[in-house]
C-alpha cells in the first residue's frame, strides 16, 4: 500500500531545465550523482514544487509561478530563510539547502530543500488508512495543536523579529487584501463591497500577543508519517508567513474548512477531508484552539469572514493569470465561480452574526 505523496508529469508550460539545475546544484551541494529526473507535485496553485530524483538522493525544488505575479509575492529568499531559522523552534520545517538568486538558471529564483516523504491529505481521507471517527478526531486535534504550537513560538529567539510588523496588522490586512483584490479583479468577478464595508466597520484591535502566522495552514500543506498517519512530521508552504494576529491566521485556516453539513455548492469547494466523520466543526475547531492556546474567543465571525475574503483574493489572483492566458492550467477555469460562492458564504455569516 503506497499512500505517500507522489509527483507526476510536469504540467505543460511549467517545465524546468534539468541540465541547468544539475550544474548549479553540483556547484553548491556535494555527493550528487548523475542527472536529476524531474517530476512535479500535483498541488500548488501559487509557487510550484518539483521533485529532483538523483541516483541516491531526492530533493524538492520550489519556484514562483509563471506569468503575472503580485508585487512582493513569491519571495524565494524569504521562504528559504524562514525554513532555516524557524526549524529549531518548530521542527516540522523541512531543511532548506540552497537558494539560487541567479534567474538565468531557470528564469526565476528558486530554492532546494529536504524531501520529507509522507502522506499529504487532499480532498478525502484515503480508504486504505481505515481511520475510525475517534482516530480522525485525534488527527484533527493534532492538526490544530501544531498551529497553536507555531503561534506560541518565540520569534524573537528565532531571529525573525523583522519578519513582519504586528502593530496595525488587522487594519493592514483588510486594506491590503482590498487593494490586491481590486488589482486582480476581472470583469466577471464579484465586487465584495458589502463584505468589505462590514469588515471595516467591525474591525477589532490587534491581538495582544502577536505571533508567527503561517497564512496558508491546511491539511494539504502538512505531511503525515506514513507509518503513523496520526502524527504530523512536516509543515509546508511558508511563502506567506509573517508576524501578526494569530486569530487572523486561524480565520485563514477556517476559510478552507468545509463541514459535512455545509450546502452542496459549498462542498464543491472542499480540498481537504474536513467533512470526514470525526473532524471537528468550525466552531469545535475554534473552541479547541482557544482551549489549547489558553485564551477566550467570544465571537469568531470577523476572523472567519476575513478569511473568506482573503481566500477570494488569492483565488482571484490565480484566476487573473488564467483569464489573461498567462497559465493554461485548466484547474483555474472555475475559480471565478468559487470567488462568487465565497462572497455568498461571507454574506450569509454576516446576516447571522451577533457583531
Domains and CATH numbers, the chain: 18-115 (3.30.200.20), 120-351 (3.90.1200.10)
Span 323-348, mean pLDDT?
A: 94
User: d(Cα 29, Cα 99) in Å, to the nearest integer?
Assistant: 11
CA 41 to chain centre: 15
Give the confidence band of 72 by pLDDT, cuts at 50, 70, 90.
Answer: low
Q: What angle do CA 4, 112, 225 make, to 5 degrees?
A: 25
User: d(Cα 304, Cα 281) in Å, to the nearest integer?
Assistant: 13
Span 83-89, mean pLDDT?
A: 97
Span 73-87, mean pLDDT?
A: 92
pLDDT value at residue 1 = 44
C-beta separation of 350 from 195 below 8 A: yes
CA diameter of the chain: 62
**Measured in Å, how far apart are the chain's first and last C-alpha atoms?**
49
Instruction: Look over the chain and give the mean of its residue pLDDT values, rounded to a whole number.
Output: 94
Span 286-299, mean pLDDT?
A: 97
The SS3 assignment for 18 reads helix
User: d(Cα 52, Cα 82) in Å, to the nearest integer?
Assistant: 22
pLDDT value at residue 46 = 72
Grid coordinates representing 267 are: 462542498
Exposure of 28 in the CB half-sphere (CA atoms within 13 A) = 15
Q: Is the pLDDT of residue 70 over 60?
A: no
CB atoms inside a 10 Å sphere around CB 145: 14
Give the confidence band of 5 by pLDDT, cuts at 50, 70, 90.
Answer: confident
Q: What is the pLDDT of residues 208-251, one digit of tens each?
A: 999 999 999 999 999 999 999 999 999 999 989 999 999 999 99
Amino acid at each position: 500500500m503506497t499512500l505517500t505523496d507522489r509527483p507526476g508529469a510536469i504540467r505543460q508550460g511549467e517545465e524546468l531545465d534539468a541540465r541547468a539545475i544539475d550544474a548549479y546544484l553540483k556547484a553548491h551541494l556535494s555527493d550528487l550523482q548523475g542527472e536529476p529526473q524531474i517530476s512535479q507535485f500535483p498541488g500548488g496553485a501559487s509557487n510550484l514544487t518539483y521533485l529532483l530524483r538523483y541516483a541516491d538522493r531526492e530533493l524538492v525544488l520550489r519556484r514562483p509561478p509563471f506569468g503575472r505575479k503580485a508585487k512582493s509575492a513569491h519571495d524565494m529568499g524569504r521562504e528559504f530563510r524562514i525554513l532555516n531559522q524557524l526549524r529549531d523552534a518548530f521542527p516540522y520545517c523541512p531543511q532548506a539547502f540552497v537558494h539560487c538568486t541567479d534567474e538565468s538558471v531557470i528564469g526565476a529564483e528558486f530554492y532546494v530543500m529536504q524531501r520529507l516523504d509522507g502522506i499529504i491529505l487532499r480532498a478525502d481521507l484515503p480508504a486504505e488508512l481505515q481511520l475510525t471517527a475517534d482516530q480522525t478526531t485525534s488527527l484533527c486535534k493534532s492538526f490544530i495543536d501544531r498551529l497553536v504550537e507555531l503561534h506560541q513560538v518565540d520569534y524573537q529567539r528565532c531571529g525573525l523579529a523583522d519578519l513582519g510588523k504586528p502593530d496595525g496588522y488587522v487594519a493592514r490586512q483588510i486594506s491590503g487584501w482590498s487593494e490586491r483584490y481590486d488589482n486582480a479583479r476581472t470583469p466577471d468577478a464579484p465586487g465584495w463591497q458589502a463584505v468589505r464595508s462590514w469588515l471595516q466597520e467591525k474591525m477589532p484591535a490587534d491581538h495582544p500577543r502577536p505571533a508567527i502566522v503561517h497564512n496558508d495552514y491546511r491539511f494539504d500543506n502538512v505531511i503525515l508519517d506514513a507509518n503513523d498517519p496520526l502524527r504530523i512530521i512536516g509543515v509546508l508552504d511558508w511563502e506567506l508567513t509573517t508576524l501578526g494576529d494569530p486569530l487572523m491566521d486561524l480565520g485563514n485556516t477556517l476559510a478552507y474548512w468545509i463541514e459535512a453539513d455545509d450546502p452542496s455548492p459549498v462542498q464543491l469547494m472542499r480540498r481537504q477531508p474536513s467533512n470526514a466523520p470525526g473532524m471537528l466543526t468550525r466552531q469545535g475547531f475554534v473552541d479547541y484552539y482557544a482551549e489549547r492556546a489558553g485564551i477566550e474567543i467570544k465571537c469568531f465571525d470577523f476572523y472567519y469572514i476575513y478569511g473568506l475574503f482573503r481566500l477570494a483574493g488569492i483565488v482571484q489572483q490565480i484566476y487573473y493569470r488564467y483569464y489573461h492566458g498567462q497559465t493554461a492550467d485548466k484547474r483555474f477555469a472555475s475559480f471565478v465561480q468559487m470567488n462568487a460562492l465565497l462572497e455568498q458564504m461571507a454574506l450569509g455569516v454576516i446576516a447571522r452574526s451577533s457583531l
